[in-house]
């Protein structure tokens, strides 16, 4: 090898040494003391061994060339490239907190924008790891590269619904950059070190933390107690979703019997409909091996969403939870439903609805919160989906939630009902009080109120029972079949098999316009 080439290789080796050193040993030590891995350690943990191919390693902050930057800026604070995760090709990047606190500069933000575009062209998932104190101001004349941030934002939006987008907030993420993780399909936060804040005064200790964004804003899908656990969740998430919108979701060989009849389903629901039960118990009894990967667990818990498998086939589950607010559909649960439903439809992942809900809540409080508008999003969204859809109604299906949860004529492929189901425009108890108020007033005066009340209530309940309404196949409250609860799992699996090659065409248009 000649001296000419040897000189170039020496410079290249020096560049690699600088990159591996990041912001220096003191900064790396501080990162570890804060309970965080470095950007390169995170990528090494997330990617299959030896699969990461770095891109943009020569990039540096241009201020260094002009003598306006005294700190090192290896890779301009963004480590990125292609990799494999469990054998699947992905693009990933991580902001490096050891380099100027992870604040992205002009070149770093353009690197990120370019990588998202590459992921879109190559039709592979993109994963962004955020640990950044905000914009880099003062080192390069105050320039932050807002045009680069705009391109990064636009690329995320353009490829939304085409490739899966996952964000991990494992440290601070503030200012304009904070919008990027929220644009992604899924956001995972480290509960101990993650912090997400757009701007303005912080008025409480919990603001910006993972729990705040899980319970209050609903912007976080999953939380973890460490960097490693956060990345394990990202790996788990990838197991349920395809590479892009043109591929089928990954199926695995199942160990659980697809024909398993579950006796335990007969004892979950209480005999008295006034009492609640936890829908998680139903889910765990019908999915493969009892494994359910729940999202937004602590946000609007009256609606459950997440991934599971049926005979190895991945599916998204949307379920009312009677144990929380009687499973009502209010604005937060409607938004939670809408977001998840759109993801499932875009990536052709089947949706299984488990419905037991007392409908949308009435009253001034909910009307001021826009309960009609939020519910209309779900009606609009469900009507526009073309992915396979299976609905199982368990007990109550009242009011507008009957259509929202995939019943009636909204286009589900299969609708099953347990024999315990009641379909009604509102709860029969309310109807009794409204329609028979004169009879009830007379009964109260005569001292036999309970007897008269339950007489009318039982008549209505019989009229609303699916065992009665199911006799009319073209009725508004229609099911394809009333089933033995123990057959719920086999029925869902047969329905998913039957709809595996479904082709559903919508009217041609540029886009649909959702309620605000």
Cα–Cα nearest to 40, from 79, 84, 92? 79
Question: Is pLDDT above 50 for 138?
Answer: no
For the chain, percent of residues with pLDDT exceeding 70: 95
Q: Which residue did the predictor score with more confidence, 369 or 118?
A: 118
The tokens for 195 are: 């912090």
User: Where does the pLDDT of residue 1 fall: very low under 50, low under 70, confident under 90, or very high at 90 and above?
Assistant: low
pLDDT of residue 66: 59
User: Where does the pLDDT of residue 68 fall: very low under 50, low under 70, confident under 90, or very high at 90 and above?
Assistant: low
Give me the half-sphere count of Cα atoms (radius 13 Å) on the Cβ side of residue 487.
Answer: 11
User: What confidence tens digit (pLDDT) does each residue in 262-277 have?
Assistant: 999 999 999 888 889 9
Taking the domains of the chain in order of start, what are their residue ranges? 16-238, 263-421+465-498, 427-464
Question: Is pLDDT above 90 for 406?
Answer: no
Fold match, 16-238 / 263-421+465-498: yes
User: Where does the pLDDT of residue 141 fall: very low under 50, low under 70, confident under 90, or very high at 90 and above?
Assistant: very low
pLDDT of residue 330: 92
pLDDT of residue 140: 47
Q: Which residue did the predictor score with more confidence, 3 or 216?
A: 216
Kindly state the average pLDDT of the residues 102-130.
93
Report how far apart, in Å, the C-alpha atoms of 240 and of each of 119, 223, 306, 391 are: 19, 18, 10, 20
In this structure, which topology does domain 263-421+465-498 adopt according to CATH? 2-enoyl-CoA Hydratase; Chain A, domain 1 (3.90.226)
User: What confidence tens digit (pLDDT) does each residue in 195-244 have?
Assistant: 999 877 777 778 888 898 999 889 999 999 999 999 999 999 999 999 99
Question: Is pLDDT above 60 for 290?
Answer: yes
What is this structure's pTM? 0.92
Question: Is pLDDT above 50 for 23?
Answer: yes
Kindly state the average pLDDT of the residues 344-355.
97
Kindly state the average pLDDT of the residues 31-55.
96
Note the CATH number of domain 16-238: 3.90.226.10
Kindly state the average pLDDT of the residues 300-317.
97
pLDDT of residue 96: 93
Q: Which residue did the predictor score with more confidence, 11 or 36?
A: 36
CA separation for the pair 404, 379 (Å, rounded): 6
pLDDT of residue 433: 84
**In the block, which residue shows the tokens 């976080």?**
220
User: What confidence tens digit (pLDDT) does each residue in 465-479 have?
Assistant: 888 877 777 776 788
CA separation for the pair 223, 233 (Å, rounded): 9
CA separation for the pair 334, 339 (Å, rounded): 9
Question: Is pLDDT above 70 for 310?
Answer: yes
Cα–Cα nearest to 295, from 208, 392, 223? 223
Lowest mean pLDDT among 19-23, 364-368, 395-399: 19-23
For the chain, the average pLDDT equals 89
Q: Which of 292-301, 322-331, 371-380 has the highest mean pLDDT?
A: 292-301
């Amino acid at each position: 090898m000649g001296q000419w080439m040897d000189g170039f290789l020496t410079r290249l080796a020096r560049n690699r040494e600088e990159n591996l050193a990041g912001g220096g040993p003191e900064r790396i030590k501080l990162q570890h003391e804060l309970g965080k891995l470095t950007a390169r350690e995170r990528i090494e943990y997330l990617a299959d061994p030896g699969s990461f191919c770095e891109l943009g390693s020569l990039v540096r902050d241009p201020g260094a060339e002009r003598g306006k930057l005294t700190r090192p800026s290896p890779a301009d604070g963004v480590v990125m490239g292609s990799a494999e995760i469990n054998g699947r090709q992905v693009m990933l990047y991580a902001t490096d907190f050891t380099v100027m606190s992870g604040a992205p500069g002009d070149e770093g933000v353009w690197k990120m924008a370019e990588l998202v575009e590459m992921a879109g062209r190559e039709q592979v998932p993109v994963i962004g790891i955020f640990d950044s104190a905000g914009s880099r101001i003062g080192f390069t004349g105050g320039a932050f590269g807002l045009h680069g941030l705009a391109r990064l934002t636009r690329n995320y939006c353009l490829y939304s619904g085409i490739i899966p987008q996952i964000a991990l907030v494992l440290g601070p993420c503030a200012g304009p950059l904070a919008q990027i993780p929220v644009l992604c399909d899924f956001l995972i936060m480290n509960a101990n070190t993650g912090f997400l804040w757009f701007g303005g005064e912080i008025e409480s200790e919990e603001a910006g933390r993972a729990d705040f964004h899980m319970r209050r804003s609903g912007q976080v899908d999953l939380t973890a107690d460490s960097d490693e656990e956060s990345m394990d969740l990202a790996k788990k998430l990838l197991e349920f979703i395809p590479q892009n919108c043109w591929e089928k979701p990954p199926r695995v060989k199942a160990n659980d019997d697809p024909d398993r009849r579950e006796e335990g389903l007969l004892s979950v629901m209480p005999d008295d409909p006034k009492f609640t039960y936890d829908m998680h118990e139903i889910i765990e009894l019908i999915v493969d091996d009892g494994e359910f990967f729940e999202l937004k667990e602590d946000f609007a818990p009256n609606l459950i969403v997440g991934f599971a498998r049926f005979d190895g086939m991945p599916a998204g589950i949307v379920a009312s939870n009677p144990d929380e607010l009687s499973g009502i559909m209010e604005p937060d649960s409607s938004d939670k439903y809408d977001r998840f439903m759109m993801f499932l439809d875009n990536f052709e992942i089947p949706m299984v609805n488990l419905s037991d809900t007392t409908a949308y809540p009435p009253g001034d409080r909910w009307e001021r919160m826009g309960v009609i508008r939020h519910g209309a999003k779900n009606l609009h969204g469900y009507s526009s989906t073309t992915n396979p859809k299976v609905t199982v109604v368990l007990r109550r299906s009242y009011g507008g939630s009957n259509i929202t949860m995939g019943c009636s004529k909204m286009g589900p492929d299969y609708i099953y009902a347990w024999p315990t189901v009641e379909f009604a425009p509102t709860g029969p108890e309310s109807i009794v009080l409204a329609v028979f108020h004169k009879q009830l007033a007379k009964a109260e005066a005569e001292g036999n109120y309970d007897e008269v009340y339950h007489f009318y209530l039982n008549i209505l309940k019989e009229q609303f029972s699916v065992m009665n309404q199911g006799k009319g196949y073209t009725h508004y409250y229609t099911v394809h079949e009333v089933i033995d609860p123990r057959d719920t799992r086999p029925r869902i699996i047969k329905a998913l098999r039957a709809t595996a090659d479904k082709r559903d065409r919508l009217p041609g248009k540029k886009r649909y316009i959702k309620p605000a």
